[in-house]
Structure 1
Amino acid sequence: MRATSSNLQVICAPCRSCLVTPTSPPRRSIHTSTSSISPRSTTALIHARKLHPKAAPNPVRDFHGKKSELNRRLLTFDLDNTLWDVNAVIIAAEKAMRGWLEVHVPEVVAFYQTQGVADIRSRVIAEHPEFRHNLSRLRTLVVQRSIEACGYGPAQASTLAQAAFTVFMECRHRVQYFEGALETLDQLAGNYTLAALSNGNADIARLGLDRYFSFSCSAADVGASKPAPDMFLAALNRAGVKARDAAHVGDHLHDDIAGAIGVGMHAVWCNFVGQERPADSVAPSATVTSLAALLAVIEDLFSAR
């Protein structure tokens, strides 16, 4: 998510909670990899960067692979549930982390079973409301506080929580891409600037997707989750394009579609499960039922101007 450094990263947006596994059924996939700032504040940040380059950190992480050349039009992509099924990934990652805890901190597993973590999570968010947009920090601190509740000191609990989270993140990056995802990205990257915008903590470089994406930005980077405009505006600013020359691709009608439309971008809804669009939701610029369909849809969107 570099010209200036930032630890890019999105626990996943769809699960919306810490240590609670989602239950939605997985979708068909084939490829496997093992690898709130206000709008006014965002505008000020962008202007500050233009006038005084050292005044504020750049929230965008640049990549410099063979596909990194900036083109005149920008395509931004959501990640979780747009390029892969995140529910299966998080379930597997949580299972692996719990397995590690059973060996190294068995008391905390029993604590989860009897007490749960909802109260601890609520207290952590009350203490650190900014962690709502930094799910890695949120998950790690919830695990740490749970370990502390079992009688461990803060320093030891922090070390154990970090180790457990490392196990979680290793599995979190073992994704199965939806059919046609990588082929579609490869073709689009030859004609457009591609960027990743995610509320979650998947790392583009760790996944090897930096060969397609020129840069990425996360909720943790800007301190705000989609549909807030911060990520979209940061991407437009980095690519140097007008909103009318950019399109966002995502599965979430509120976070992705409403967020992109709200800043003037085109928005393509990835409706892979035949979902009925609510009448009161923001209408997407276009809808696709497979990633392969993006090639023609994106071309039509930009040629229709």
Structure 2
Amino acid sequence: MIQICRSIKPFYAITLDLDNTLYDNKPIICRAEDKLVFFLRRYHPALYNVRKSDFYFSKKMVKSLDPEIYHDVNSWRWKSLENILLKSGLSKHDAQLGADCAMEMIIYWRNQIDVSINTIQALKALSSKWPLIAITNGNSNLIMCGLRRYFSDVLRAGIHGRAKPYKDMYLLSSKYFGMSCKYILHVGDDLYSDIQGAILSGMQSCWMQRYSLSSIIVNTKLLPHLVISDLTSLAYFL
């Protein structure tokens, strides 16, 4: 399914969000967090009763102390883990070592991603016509999930600027492509970080609904140029 909401003008490059755009990220993160709790409970006796809610609370507390840390999801997770271990009575050294080990584990499971054959074929078709750059607020590893070959570059919040919807990564992708934002189409699932961020940066936008946590457009400022149900429909349309 594809729906045209605004007049679409010629474009010569595409930026793509990753989580909940190329795959359903919710079960991936849920499994990774389950593995995290399992790991922590066995890492040290003081952590035997740790729960997911403890991790969520720690993230909230860390962000309250450092409001800008959310731009770098890896730093945010690491600090949250260190905080849990310190609060459980571990020494600074042991807490940092434990946070390092926990991050290695969660990054591994966070990147165990099964991408559908339809999405892979759509990426192959799109990348044969336009250069693609991935723009993500997360930390998925395209090499680990076998998608890196389709992208000329990958921009990550924290490393390459502030998280979407800030303009940093949109403008940087424009620089990498060597063209104005108005000649770039951004595809993503989130009406706020992807669609509004792209529009305010001067790009055209395409809302991918399949795995989106947003269900309805309530603000005309968030009206995308295109709405698609999956990446295959975009590849066929273009």
Same fold (TM over 0.5): yes
- Structure 2 counterpart SS, 1:249: strand
**Structure 1, unaligned stretches of length 5 or more?**
1-71, 300-305
Corresponding residue for 2:20?
81
Partners of 1:94 and 1:144 in 2: CA distance? 15
Q: How many residues align?
A: 226
Partners of 1:144 and 1:204 in 2: CA distance? 27
Cα deviations by residue, 1:239-260 (Å, 9 ceiling, x for unpaired): 1011221100011111111111
Corresponding residue for 1:99?
38
CA contact (8 A) 1:101 1:164 kept: yes
CA contact (8 A) 2:42 2:48 kept: no
RMSD: 2.0
Which of the residues 88, 94, 99 maps onto 1:161? 99
Cα deviations by residue, 1:170-222 (Å, 9 ceiling, x for unpaired): 11011122461100001111111101000111122232212100001011123
In the TM superposition, 1:17-56 aligns within 5 A as: none
- Structure 1 counterpart SS, 2:135: strand
Corresponding residue for 1:240?
178
Distance 1:118 1:96, change over 3 A: closer
Distance 1:95 1:273, change over 3 A: closer
Corresponding residue for 1:68?
none
Corresponding residue for 1:290?
230
Deviation at 1:266, TM superposition (A): 1.0
Partners of 1:167 and 1:119 in 2: CA distance? 20
Cα deviations by residue, 1:247-289 (Å, 9 ceiling, x for unpaired): 0001111111111111111101111269332244511111111
Amino acid at match of 2:186: H
Larger CA deviation: 273-282 vs 143-152: 273-282
Q: Does 1:124 align with 2:62?
A: yes
**Structure 2, unaligned stretches of length 5 or more?**
1-10
Distance 1:91 1:118, change over 3 A: closer
Partners of 1:197 and 1:280 in 2: CA distance? 24
Distance 1:117 1:209, change over 3 A: closer
In the TM superposition, 1:1-305 aligns within 5 A as: 73-112=12-51, 116-117=54-55, 119-178=57-116, 180-272=118-210, 275-297=215-237, 299=238
Distance 1:189 1:96, change over 3 A: same
Amino acid at match of 1:133: H
Deviation at 1:118, TM superposition (A): 5.1
Corresponding residue for 2:3?
none
Partners of 1:284 and 1:257 in 2: CA distance? 6
